[in-house]
Structure 1
């Protein structure tokens, strides 16, 4: 199964052979034996490498988290009488990655030198799938936690603001209502994503609809399109601090109390945390608490963060 996962990720038996340090003929035999045992082809072979069949894709979806859990369990037992060691996978959305990833990587390197931290970036739908399958150990997710049906920690609430190209809303103050937003051309992710749902639901609650001529499922592309003058969008200001400070983007609160989204931390429900995951989780909470306390991250601490501030 580990060989199968590696070939699926590499797309080539030669690259998988190098990664696993197994001779390519032996690796190919393992894949053929697995296909024979299951009774269906798992890969389509071609000159460029190997691609998963429909059956192979389904097998990968079902076993990747399970195999990873077994590996982490062995690592955790081996490290019980030593310094904290192991591999930890953290998933986060692009807006959080911009604010926090480099800082956390630096802290883990200093305080947990024997822990290998892997960061995966994705959007809300992907993040929830990864944590439910056990592909990652910790994931940022959008609340409320009661909707997620996994183990969570209430992290923070952060404001989401209207971002605009400079000079396009001259005469408009630092706060706007949805009647100002309604005629604006917006650049937003598609409907499966949490940000789109938040903006549409709050606009509807205020008695307005929004115009979204540009559906873009990319944080970097949204930011670029706003700076280019194509349209307006909504993002948390912490993820745009550099652009706002340089005057490349204007940010305004929406409504009397502003628009707020909840962030929680999720961990897999089907297994306990490893020592390494618990150690990274503790550092993560400490770093975010310090950022909120210093004003670097404009947010309200959640229930599981307040005692650290």
Structure 2
């Protein structure tokens, strides 16, 4: 097995055609077919089937493609580090961001990386915290933003900020940013929450147990946009971080109030603890902290307090 065979496998899987893959790889079609044949002989299993829409990976092919992507990504990073050891920082960095934070910091991070480290290629992937953590541990991400995580033998973290959670409803609800409400405000009212074990759901249920509050959860939605849509359609109230609702409140689409006592969650940057962090990844992490600090200090991240760097 060699790199040419792995690149042929991935290119055929993406283009669904040996002919198109050959054009992408600047090879003749028989050469690509031969690489696939040798790979199948070595694996002892067929890697593709021919369907109406073109070449499709078999289960064995999907498994090999997953490992091939990871291997090639690691090699690309190693090449970038070796070539840049004595010159400018370069390499590929896969960064995971949470949906609620993406609009706030993705642009500033990308701009900062481009201006300061033009040799770094940044790839941004969005996902829920649980998925981002899985991708980190699987090696598919180099760094990510996560919620309420502590360091573990496999995960290194740096706390960035604490953010307040808000009760969110329609403008006619009487909720206001300067008028904190107790969690008991939601008693007897329809509530929309994420499904368990989502972080916000866990925080709210824990606080309900502490304050002896019972909620009537009429709908579940893991996506914050869906939670806001359900509220706008009059289905009930929800609980969201300030970063997700500040623009909607300013436009008069939604109303929100912080909780009293405050219900907060921690946002951290994270990376695999058992994998050496590259120079390029460290530079992206630095730019992420700069972007977060700027959002908080300029008031764009509602209800957030920065955590001093250790």
TM-score (norm 1): 0.86
1:59 aligned residue (59, 64, 78): 64
Aligned to 1:192: 197
For residues 33 and 124 of structure 1, what CA distance do their matches in structure 2 show?
40
1:111 equivalent in alignment to 2:106: no
Instruction: Indicate the larger mover: 156-165 or 267-276.
Output: 267-276
Deviation at 1:65, TM superposition (A): 3.0
1:81/1:219 CA distance change after superposition, 3 Å = same
SS at match of 1:229: coil
TM-score (norm 2): 0.86
Give unmatched runs, 5+ long, in structure 2: 1-5
Deviation at 1:132, TM superposition (A): 0.7
What pairs with 1:221-232 in structure 2 (closer than 5 Å)? Answer: 221-232=226-237
Deviation at 1:295, TM superposition (A): 2.5
Deviation at 1:101, TM superposition (A): 1.0
Instruction: Indicate the larger mover: 23-32 or 104-113.
Output: 23-32
1:279 aligned residue (279, 283, 305): 283
For residues 182 and 242 of structure 2, what CA distance do their matches in structure 1 show?
18
1:260 equivalent in alignment to 2:264: yes
Deviation at 1:162, TM superposition (A): 1.4
User: Cα deviation per residue 1:53-78 (whole Å; 9 max; x = unaligned)?
Assistant: 33334334445334312220111111
SS at match of 1:145: coil
User: Cα deviation per residue 1:134-176 (whole Å; 9 max; x = unaligned)?
Assistant: 2111101112314684111111111111111221347998222
1:210 aligned residue (215, 235, 243): 215
1:70 equivalent in alignment to 2:75: yes
User: Cα deviation per residue 1:59-107 (whole Å; 9 max; x = unaligned)?
Assistant: 3444533431222011111111222222211101100102211222222
SS at match of 1:130: helix
Q: Which has the larger radius of gyration?
A: 2
1:42 aligned residue (44, 47, 62): 47
Aligned to 1:164: 169
Give unmatched runs, 5+ long, in structure 1: none
For residues 203 and 54 of structure 1, what CA distance do their matches in structure 2 show?
45
Deviation at 1:251, TM superposition (A): 1.0
How many residues align? The count is: 304
Contact 2:22 2:29 in 1 (8 A): yes
Aligned to 1:123: 128
SS at match of 1:223: helix
2:253 aligned residue (244, 248, 251): 248
SS at match of 1:221: helix
SS at match of 1:176: coil
Aligned to 2:88: 83
For residues 173 and 149 of structure 2, what CA distance do their matches in structure 1 show?
34
Instruction: Indicate the larger mover: 131-140 or 52-61.
Output: 52-61
Contact 1:13 1:49 in 2 (8 A): no
Contact 2:269 2:285 in 1 (8 A): no
